[in-house]
Amino acid sequence: MRFIPTRTHGVIDYLTGLLLIVAPFVLGFADGGAAQWVPIILGAAILLMSIMTDYELSLAKVIPMPLHLGVDAAGGLLLAASPWLFGFADQVFWPHLIIGLMEIGVSLMTHTTPHTSDAGVGGTYS
């Protein structure tokens, strides 16, 4: 069931991107290894993709929303599995796992088309 509007998804994207970039420093696992760089790189990618997605909170409407959601799900899966894939689960794994699963869930619950004001009173949602 998709009940998260694309505008709300945009807010979540920007907040998640920023959270992933600062989490290693705030939570104390900024040691220069994969535990630090996986969330930083994914956070930067989320911000860049958000700026370019065809939804209400972007600057360049280039990436279709279904593709954006697919990339979100894949990135969430990578983030959630990264502690075991890259061998740092003994150091830290909860932030990666929780935020990764959140990314997957949000991607599965977000409408696939943005609300359009010219679509009538209720707009269009898929």
- Whole domain around residue 33: which residue ranges? 6-112
Is residue 117, in this structure, part of any structural domain at all? no
With 0.85 as the threshold, say if the pTM is over it.
yes
Is residue 107, in this structure, part of any structural domain at all? yes
Is residue 126, in this structure, part of any structural domain at all? no
Mean pLDDT of 55-67: 96
- What is residue 119's predicted lDDT score, i.e. its pLDDT? 44
CA nearest neighbour of 4 among 61, 62, 72, 59? 72
Per-residue pLDDT at 75 exceeds 70: yes
Mean pLDDT of 7-27: 98
Is residue 22, in this structure, part of any structural domain at all? yes
**Collapsing DSSP states into helix, strand and coil, what is residue 76?**
helix
Mean pLDDT of 35-43: 98
- What is residue 117's predicted lDDT score, i.e. its pLDDT? 56
Mean pLDDT of 72-80: 98
- What is residue 122's predicted lDDT score, i.e. its pLDDT? 46
**Collapsing DSSP states into helix, strand and coil, what is residue 32?**
coil
Mean pLDDT of 87-111: 98
Is residue 92, in this structure, part of any structural domain at all? yes
CA nearest neighbour of 47 among 12, 79, 76, 80? 12
Domain tally, the chain: 1
| Contact present, 53 and 68 (Cβ < 8 Å) | yes
Is residue 123, in this structure, part of any structural domain at all? no
Is residue 118, in this structure, part of any structural domain at all? no
Is residue 124, in this structure, part of any structural domain at all? no
